[in-house]
A and B are shown apart, each in its own frame.
Chain A
Amino acid sequence: MKFGKLLAGATLALGLATSAYADGHEKTKVGFVFVGPIGDGGWTYEHNKGREAVEAEFGDAVETVYVENVAEGPDSERVMTQMALDGADLIFTTSFGYMDPTINVAKKFPDVKFEHATGYKRADNVSTYSARFYEGRAIQGHIAGSMTKSNIIGYIGSYPIPEVIRGINSAFIHARKVNPDVQFKIVWAYTWFDPAKEADAAKVLIEQGADVILQHTDSTAPQAAAQEAGNVITFGQASDMSQYAPMPRVSSIIDDWAPYYIARTKAVMDGTWESTDTWDGIGAGMVGIGEISDAVPADVKEQALAMKAALADGSYHAFTGPLKKQDGSDFLAEGETADDGTLAGMNFYVEGLEGDIPQ
């Protein structure tokens, strides 16, 4: 894994040596730092589709580079630094754990624009962007709560960060709404991408009675495990994962980064790029809901689509009171909706969820 990155680093270094001669490059160079392989079928796969869309949109006017399998933390700083040295004008860093490295590298290269996905730290040359995945989670929760027979829903978490906790809460709230007996079993995999471990986690949850598996990890392995087990439903994560439809995958959350990547690349080309914070959901098209398969009862499907429409036009918010926190304290009053600040830093479970969030 790590060595794929080394190789890419060597390639970048080579590029550095050659580009030193071509001073004042005409092409806009856009770099992407990926946490998994582009063939993971999920998170990184969708980011790479966004990269390809940038290339298709601007043709010869842009050059894109990417490095796969970059470990979160200090290693990523080296990769970003090399990209910047190599003449990248804009660098997308596409995992939460790249947050501090992105800020550090951005300080060293004030002329290079950085875009960090799913984080909350910004600077003059660092924007953040994310999608409101929790809107999709609300729909998943509704379908999962309606369809579970064992009333146990398994959830494979990656790391206990706000983005993941938000998803758990949103899914749980909506599962409980349609099914007051529903319980969540949460397993933290402590990885974004490790198919064998993800599959193991799914199997363990199924053995413990779960008949719905929600995942917040990047590969399609849990889908394969659910398919093996039979009679278990899953949802595509980050990508449609339609190869597992109609069963076990009954729907999906699809991240569509292409319009954003194209707009931001255009802004760099035009010189209009500014540091911003973008957080779009179903309404803006950044979050897509994959086709709800026939395995879902027609009335549930209809309700899910109605919820999707309400989330899209803003008439419904996935976190609408009355809601309490896990410890019983008040979170949202009747009719109140959560503000973005609370959502962005969410580090608590809502009432009804069991277990503690790892600190």
Chain B
Amino acid sequence: MDLSAINPVLFIAGFLVAATPLIFAAIGELVVEKSGTLNLGVEGMMITGAICGFAIAVETGSPLLGFVAAAVGGALLSLLFAFLTQITLANQVASGLALTLFGLGLSSLLGQSYVGIKPPRLGDINFGPLADIPVIGPILFTHDIILYLGFLLVAAVWAVLKFTRAGLVLRAVGESHDAAHALGYKVVRIRTLAIMFGGACAGVGGAYISLIRVPQWTEGMTAGVGWIALALVVFASWKPWRLLLGAYLFGGITQLQLNLQGAGVAIPVEYLAMSPYVITIVVLVILSRDKSAAPASLGRTFHAST
């Protein structure tokens, strides 16, 4: 065993990167579910965002444009889900699963000619002297802009949901769409916007994997992150800060167990390998002992006539 082989600074910097795709996908889905819609297509929107972002970044040479394209791609795909569930009133679970299927297929089609290409690198933000602070500098101030954006997004979603009228309306739609409708709010429009926001976030999360975390394009490369994001929203009881905590826990322990394995720590590897899932779930379940419940209208179909 050689714990000194683990560099804590690199480790923490590493897990912030590992958690970012999860944060984006999950915070988007949180908003969608707060509006009373269950979109199981996160994985499909992520992988679509991953290839849209990758392709545009390669073609234009600009990773930032890639992320914009990823958001647009994810949002466009989610519009399909919005059309199915909000206009034609199709079952949300089935439509979400279909969206994942469709996204996986579409992305491997779009990605045919991008295998084995190296994408342009998104540089780290230059914080000047801040990055030179020992320990804290390399951990906090040597990342790309998208990582900080993920953190800010969580804060923004929290603030909007808690303090603004728009957030109140969104929550009202999610709790009782009939009441919200009776008050004159456009339930379908609000939900559609929430779904598009979720799609855009998932797309950016996917692109973070293909442009920064790996960085390459491989078919099916999100490999289930979308499903973890979905689970995270539930275990975090639809609360943004808990979601952030859960994502950091999950990313952190995933990185930690790889580090411990590399250092040859004498804990059986199979326990290490399952630890991110177990610990994240246990912590979030303990936190959610209070009476926080799912939005009351979650997954229910709304039609103005009923």
Contacts and interface: CB of A to CB of B under 8 A. Distances in A.
A49 to B, nearest CB: 14
A19 interface: no
Interface stretch (B61-69, B186-194, B254-262, B282-290): B254-262
Contacts of B166: none
Contacts of A219: 218, 221
Interface of A is mostly: mixed
Given A4-B101, A37-B108, A188 B261 contact: yes
A154 interface: yes
B87 interface: no
B220 A4 contact: yes
B136 interface: no
A160 B261 CA distance: 13
Given A200-B18, A358-B270, A195 B218 contact: yes
B225 to A, nearest CB: 7
B116 A4 contact: no
A224 B216 contact: yes
Given A154-B262, A200-B255, 11 more contacts: A1-B223, A37-B108, A37-B219, A160-B269, A185-B262, A194-B224, A197-B254, A224-B215, A243-B117, A355-B264, A359-B270
Interface string A7-49: 1000000000000000000000000000011111100000000
A186 interface: yes
B31 to A, nearest CB: 23
Given A187-B261, A188-B269, A358-B269, A193 B220 contact: yes
A40 B273 contact: no
B303 interface: no
Contact of B262 (A187, A195, A356): A187
A39 B218 contact: yes
Interface stretch (B6-14, B75-83, B122-130, B151-159): B6-14
Interface in A199-226: 199-201, 203-205, 207-209, 219-221, 223-225
Interface string B97-114: 100110011001001100
10 contacts: A1-B104, A40-B220, A185-B262, A195-B209, A196-B221, A204-B255, A208-B259, A221-B214, A227-B118, A358-B269
Contacts of A196: 18, 21, 209, 213-214, 221-223, 225
Given A1-B220, A1-B223, A6-B101, A200 B263 contact: no
A124 interface: no
Contacts of B264: 185, 354-355
Given A3-B101, A3-B104, A207-B7, A220 B219 contact: no
A186 B115 contact: no
B134 interface: no
B223 A194 contact: yes
A219 B116 CA distance: 11
Interface of B is mostly: helix
A6 B101 CA distance: 9
A3 B97 contact: yes
Given A37-B108, A196-B209, A7 B219 contact: no
A109 interface: no
A307 B294 CA distance: 63
Interface string B122-149: 0000000000000000000000000000
Contact of B214 (A154, A185, A225, A244): A225
Contact of A200 (B105, B117, B221, B254): B254
Contact of A207 (B10, B108, B213, B254): B10
Top 6 A-B residue pairs of the complex, sorted by shortest distance between their CB atoms: A243-B116, A39-B219, A37-B219, A358-B269, A194-B223, A224-B216
Interface string B34-46: 0000000001000
A209 B259 CA distance: 12
Nearest to B99: A3
B208 to A, nearest CB: 10
Interface of B: 5-7, 10-11, 14, 18, 21, 43, 97, 100-101, 104-105, 108, 111-112, 115-118, 209, 213-216, 218-225, 254-255, 258-259, 261-264, 266, 268-270, 273
A256 B218 CA distance: 21
A69 interface: yes
A228 interface: yes
Contacts of B116: 41, 220, 243-244
A195 B223 contact: yes
B209 A207 contact: no
Contacts of B262: 154, 185, 187, 204-205, 208
Contacts of B222: 196
A89 B269 CA distance: 40
Nearest to B111: A39
Best-buried of A160, A207, A221, A359 by chain B (most CB within 10 Å) = A207
A316 interface: no
A224 B263 CA distance: 23
A208 B6 contact: yes
A190 interface: yes
Contact of B218 (A41, A160, A356): A41
B117 to A, nearest CB: 8
A69 B10 CA distance: 33
Nearest to A156: B258
Nearest to B226: A1
Contacts of B100: 3
